[in-house]
C-alpha cells in the first residue's frame, strides 16, 4: 500500500502507517523527517514479513537483529534501536500492539528496596519527581558501594558505613551537594527504621556539614544587566520568543526552574491576569501576571509554540519530537541567554535572585518578597537583608572620629 506520505509499504506494519504519519506530524516532525521515519518503518515491515514475524513478536533481541540486517544491507542512516523509537512508541500506544520496552530489565533486589521508598516519598512526603530522583540516586550509590560483593541487607548497615559515605562525598563535592546527600541519607535511614528494615535509627550517625545558612550574598543582576539580557533574546525567531518569555518569568516573578517547566496552558488565567505556580511540596500559589510578562508569553503561544500538538505544557522543545522542557532545559536556556549577553557565571537561580533584589530596590519589604518567592521559612528571605543598603545604612554605627 502507499500511505498519505507517499511511502510504499508492505508487510504486517502497513495498517499502522497512517497513524504513525499523523502522530509524527502532531509531534512536530517536518514532512521530510516524517517520510524518513516511514521509510524506516517500511523496511522494518518488509523484514518482519521475510522473517515470518508479527509485530507482537518484536523484542529487544529482534530489534537488534533488524538493525544488524539494515547495516548489512548497506544502509547508512537510522541504524540503531533509538531510530525506531517513534515507531515503537506508536505501536505500544495508539496502535494497540503490546510491545516490551527495549530497555526493560528484570527487577533487582536493589529495585525491591528503592521502589517502595520512592512511592513513600511521592505519597507520604509529597516530594517533586526531580527531588525523588535525586534522593533515589544518592541512596542507590550508598547501597551499591556498601553491598558491592554481598547481598543487600539493610539490617547490616552500621553507623560506620553511613559516616564513611558522607565523608567520601565531602571529599569530592561542594558543601551544598554534601548537604543534599546528608538530607537524602537522613530521609532513607528514617524510612528504613520506621518500616522495620533496620533495628536502629542510624540518622544520629550522620555528621553535620560545616556550612552555615545565609553565609553568602544573593547574586542578582542590576537593571542594566537585565536590559542587556532581554535585549539579547532575538524575538524575531521562534526560539528567541520562547527564551524571552522564560527569562522574563524568572526575572519578574522569581520562578524556580521547575516551576517554569511545570506550567501548563490551564495555569494562565488571562481574564484575571493571574498564573498558578506549582512549587515545592506540591504547593500551589496564584501570582499576578504582569503585563509585559503576559505579552511575552502570549507572543510565544500565538506565533512560536509548535503546533498542532496535544501537549498542554506552555514551553515545548523547538525540535521534534515536541514535548515539554524539563527543569534542566530551563537552566540551559537561562545559562545560554546570560552567556550570550556577556554575563558570566549565571543560571536560573540567579534570575530568581534578580527578582528579589529588584523588589527590594523598589522599596518592597522582606514579607512581600517572601510572598512572591513563596518561601516557607522567613530565614530564607532574610538572606536579602544583606543587600538592602538603604536599610543597613540606618543600622550602621558611625566610625569613631570620622563621618557616618
Q: What is the mean pLDDT of the chain?
A: 84
Q: Is 53 exposed, middle or buried (0-12, 13-18, 19+ CB in 10 A)?
A: middle
Which residue among 117, 135, 244, 384 is the active-site one? 384
Residue 266 is classified by DSSP as: G
Which residue among 125, 180, 349, 374 is the active-site one? 349
The CATH fold of domain 223-392:
hpI Integrase; Chain A (1.10.443)
First to last CA, the chain: 88
Task: Give 383 or 358, the one with higher predicted confidence.
Answer: 358
Task: Give 345 or 230, the one with higher predicted confidence.
Answer: 230
Task: Give pLDDT, residue 212.
Answer: 67
Task: Give pLDDT, residue 149.
Answer: 83
Against a cut of 0.85, is the pTM above it?
Answer: no
282: annotated active-site residue: no
* pLDDT tens by residue, 77-115: 898 888 888 888 888 876 556 655 544 455 788 889 999
Instruction: Give the model's confidence band at 57: pLDDT under 50 very low, under 70 low, under 90 confident, else very high.
Output: confident
What is the pLDDT averaged over residues 36-61? 89
* pLDDT tens by residue, 179-225: 999 999 999 999 999 999 999 999 998 988 877 665 666 677 888 98
pLDDT at 140 over 80: yes
Which residue among 62, 122, 280, 361 is the active-site one? 280
16: annotated active-site residue: no
Task: Give pLDDT, residue 268.
Answer: 94
Which residue among 27, 43, 146, 256 is the active-site one? 256
d(CA 225, CA 338): 9
pLDDT at 357 over 50: yes
Question: C-alpha grid cell for residue 397?
Answer: 554605627
Task: Give 52 or 149, the one with higher predicted confidence.
Answer: 52
Kindly indicate whether the domain formed by 109-205 is annotated with CATH number 1.20.58. no
280: annotated active-site residue: yes
Question: C-alpha grid cell for residue 278?
Answer: 506549582
What is the pLDDT averaged over residues 270-278? 92
pLDDT at 395 over 60: no
d(CA 280, CA 2): 51
375: annotated active-site residue: yes
In the block, residue with C-alpha cell 514479513: 49
The three-state DSSP-derived secondary structure of 280-341 is: HHHCEEEEECCHHHHHHHHHHHHHCCCCCCCCCECCECCCCCCCECCHHHHHHHHHHHHHHC
Instruction: Give the model's confidence band at 120: pLDDT under 50 very low, under 70 low, under 90 confident, else very high.
Output: very high
Residue 12 is classified by DSSP as: T
349: annotated active-site residue: yes
Q: Where are the domains of the chain?
A: 14-92, 109-205, 223-392
* Residues 206, 162 contacting (CB under 8 angstroms): yes
CA atoms in the 13 A half-sphere facing the CB of 312? 6
Task: Give pLDDT, residue 103.
Answer: 43
Q: Residue 274: which of 266, 108, 130 has the closest Cα?
A: 266
Task: Give pLDDT, residue 102.
Answer: 44
In the block, residue with C-alpha cell 530564607: 380
- Edge-to-edge, what's the strand order for the sheet holding 274-278? 268-269, 274-278, 284-288
Amino acid at each position: 500500500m502507499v500511505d498519505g506520505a507517499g511511502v510504499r509499504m508492505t508487510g504486517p506494519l502497513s495498517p499502522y502507517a497512517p497513524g504513525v504519519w499523523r502522530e509524527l506530524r502532531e509531534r512536530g516532525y517536518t514532512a521530510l523527517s516524517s517520510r524518513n521515519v516511514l521509510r524506516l518503518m517500511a523496511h522494518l515491515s518488509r523484514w518482519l514479513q521475510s522473517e515470518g514475524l508479527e509485530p507482537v513478536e518484536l523484542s529487544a533481541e529482534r530489534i537488534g537483529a533488524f538493525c544488524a540486517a539494515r547495516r548489512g544491507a548497506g544502509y547508512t542512516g537510522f541504524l540503531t534501536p533509538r531510530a525506531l523509537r517513534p515507531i515503537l512508541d506508536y505501536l505500544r500506544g495508539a496502535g494497540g500492539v503490546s510491545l516490551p520496552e527495549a530497555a526493560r530489565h528484570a527487577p533487582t533486589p536493589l529495585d525491591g528496596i528503592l521502589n517502595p521508598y520512592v512511592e513513600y516519598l511521592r505519597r507520604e512526603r509529597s516530594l517533586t519527581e526531580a527531588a525523588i530522583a535525586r534522593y533515589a540516586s544518592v541512596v542507590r550509590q550508598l547501597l551499591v558501594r556498601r553491598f558491592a560483593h554481598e547481598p543487600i541487607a539493610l539490617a547490616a548497615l552500621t553507623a560506620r558505613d553511613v559516616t564513611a559515605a558522607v565523608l567520601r562525598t565531602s571529599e569530592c563535592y561542594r558543601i551544598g551537594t554534601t548537604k543534599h546527600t546528608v538530607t537524602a541519607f537522613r530521609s532513607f535511614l528514617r524510612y528504613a527504621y520506621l518500616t522495620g528494615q533496620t533495628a536502629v535509627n542510624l540518622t544520629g550517625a550522620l555528621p553535620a556539614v560545616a556550612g552555615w545558612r545565609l553565609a553568602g550574598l544573593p547574586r542578582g543582576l542590576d537593571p542594566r544587566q537585565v536590559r542587556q539580557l532581554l535585549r539579547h533574546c532575538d524575538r524575531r525567531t521562534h526560539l528567541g520568543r520562547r527564551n524571552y518569555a522564560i527569562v522574563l518569568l524568572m526575572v519578574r516573578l522569581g520562578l524556580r526552574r521547575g516551576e517554569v517547566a511545570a506550567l501548563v496552558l490551564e495555569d494562565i488565567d488571562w481574564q484575571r491576569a493571574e498564573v498558578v505556580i506549582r512549587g515545592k511540596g506540591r504547593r500551589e500559589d496564584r501570582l499576578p501576571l504582569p503585563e509585559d510578562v503576559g505579552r511575552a508569553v502570549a507572543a510565544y503561544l500565538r506565533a512560536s509554540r509548535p503546533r498542532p500538538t496535544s501537549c498542554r505544557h506552555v514551553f515545548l522543545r523547538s525540535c521534534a519530537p515536541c514535548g515539554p522542557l524539563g527543569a534542566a532545559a530551563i537552566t540551559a536556556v537561562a545559562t545560554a541567554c546570560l552567556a550570550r549577553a556577556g554575563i558570566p557565571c549565571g543560571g536560573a537561580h540567579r534570575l530568581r535572585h534578580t527578582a528579589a533584589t529588584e523588589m527590594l530596590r523598589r522599596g518592597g519589604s522582606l514579607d512581600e518578597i517572601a510572598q512572591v518567592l513563596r518561601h516557607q521559612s522567613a530565614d530564607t528571605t532574610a538572606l536579602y537583608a544583606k543587600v538592602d543598603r538603604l536599610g543597613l545604612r540606618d543600622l550602621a554605627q558611625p566610625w569613631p572620629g570620622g563621618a557616618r
